[in-house]
C-alpha cells in the first residue's frame, strides 16, 4: 500500500517534509529526548533520516511509515509515529518532542498506529521494543494492549546519557485477533487521504 495520510479528532498524521528539519533536529539532536536511543543525531544524520523517511513515503509499496504528528488545533508538529520494517517484522515506534511529554499524546499515537496497522494495512502481528528503563515507552505498549513477550538481559550498549551501560530490552507484541477484541476501546473516527 502507498503512504496514506489521515486525521483523527486531535491529530493529523502526514508525510514528513524537508521543511520539518528544524523541529525534527530539535528532538533528534537533543540528549534528553534521545536518552534511550543509541545516540543523538547530527544535522547531517537528521537530513539523512528525513531523506529516508520522505523517499520511503514515496515508494509505491511503502514499507516504512513515518507519520509526522500534528496537533490540529495549534498546527504544532509534536513528534513522529512510525510503523516500519513491514517487509521484515512490522514494528511500531514513537518519538515526541520533550515539550509535549506527559499529556497522553504518546498513548494516543500508539492507539492510532495500531488502528492503522490492523484496520488499514491488515497486518497479522506487530511488535514494539524499548530499553527496559524507558518506562514511558513500555507503558504506552501496555496501555494499547500489547503483551510483553521478551526481556533481553543487558543486550544493548546505550549512550553517554546512560553512561554507556549495557541495558536490558523489552519486546512487546500484539496479534490482529487481540486488537480486534480491544477495538471498541481503541477505535476512533478517522478520515483517510489516499493519494
Ligand X SMILES: CC(C)(COP(=O)(O)OP(=O)(O)OC[C@H]1O[C@@H](n2cnc3c(N)ncnc32)[C@H](O)[C@@H]1OP(=O)(O)O)[C@@H](O)C(=O)NCCC(=O)NCCS
Q: Which is nearer to ligand X, 102 or 195 (CB)?
A: 102
Least distance in angstroms from the C-beta of 19 to ligand X: 21
Residue nearest to ligand X (CB): 106
SS3 (DSSP) at 146: coil
- Cα atoms in the Cβ-side hemisphere of radius 13 Å centred on 99: 8
Positions that interact with ligand X (CB under 6 A): 33, 36, 94-96, 101-107, 130, 134-137, 139-140, 143
Q: Which is nearer to ligand X, 130 or 146 (CB)?
A: 130
The three grid cell numbers given for residue 52, joined into one nine-digit string: 529516508
Q: Which is nearer to ligand X, 37 or 183 (CB)?
A: 37
CA–CA distance, 150 with 49 (Å, rounded to integer): 28
Least distance in angstroms from the C-beta of 190 to ligand X: 19
Least distance in angstroms from the C-beta of 56 to ligand X: 19
The three grid cell numbers given for residue 58, joined into one nine-digit string: 514515496
Q: Which is nearer to ligand X, 74 or 122 (CB)?
A: 74
Q: Which is nearer to ligand X, 134 or 159 (CB)?
A: 134
Least distance in angstroms from the C-beta of 98 to ligand X: 7
Asked if 44 and 29 count as a contact pair (C-beta separation under 8 A), the reply is no
Least distance in angstroms from the C-beta of 47 to ligand X: 20
CA–CA distance, 59 with 3 (Å, rounded to integer): 8
**CA 53, 114, 3, 193 torsion-angle sign:** negative
CA–CA distance, 142 with 171 (Å, rounded to integer): 11
Amino acid at each position: 500500500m502507498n503512504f496514506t495520510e489521515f486525521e483523527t479528532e486531535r491529530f493529523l498524521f502526514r508525510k514528513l517534509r524537508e521543511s520539518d528539519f528544524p523541529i525534527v533536529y530539535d528532538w533528534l539532536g537533543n540528549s534528553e529526548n534521545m536518552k534511550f536511543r543509541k545516540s543523538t543525531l547530527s544535522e547531517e544524520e537528521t537530513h539523512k533520516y528525513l531523506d529516508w523517511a520522505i523517499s520511503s513515503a514515496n515508494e509505491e509499496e511503502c514499507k516504512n511509515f513515518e507519520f509526522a504528528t500534528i496537533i490540529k488545533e495549534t498546527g504544532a508538529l509534536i513528534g513522529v509515529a512510525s510503523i516500519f520494517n513491514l517487509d521484515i517484522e512490522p514494528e511500531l515506534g514513537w518519538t515526541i518532542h520533550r515539550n509535549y511529554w506527559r499529556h497522553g499524546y504518546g498513548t494516543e499515537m500508539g492507539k492510532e498506529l495500531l488502528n492503522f496497522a490492523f484496520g488499514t494495512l491488515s497486518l497479522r502481528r506487530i511488535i514494539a521494543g524499548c530499553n527496559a528503563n524507558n518506562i514511558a515507552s513500555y507503558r504506552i505498549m501496555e496501555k494499547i494492549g500489547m503483551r510483553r513477550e521478551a526481556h533481553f538481559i543487558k543486550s544493548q550498549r546505550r549512550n553517554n546519557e546512560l553512561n554507556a551501560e549495557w541495558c536490558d530490552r523489552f519486546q512487546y507484541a500484539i496479534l490482529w485477533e487481540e486488537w480486534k477484541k480491544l477495538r471498541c476501546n481503541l477505535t476512533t473516527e478517522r478520515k483517510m487521504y489516499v493519494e
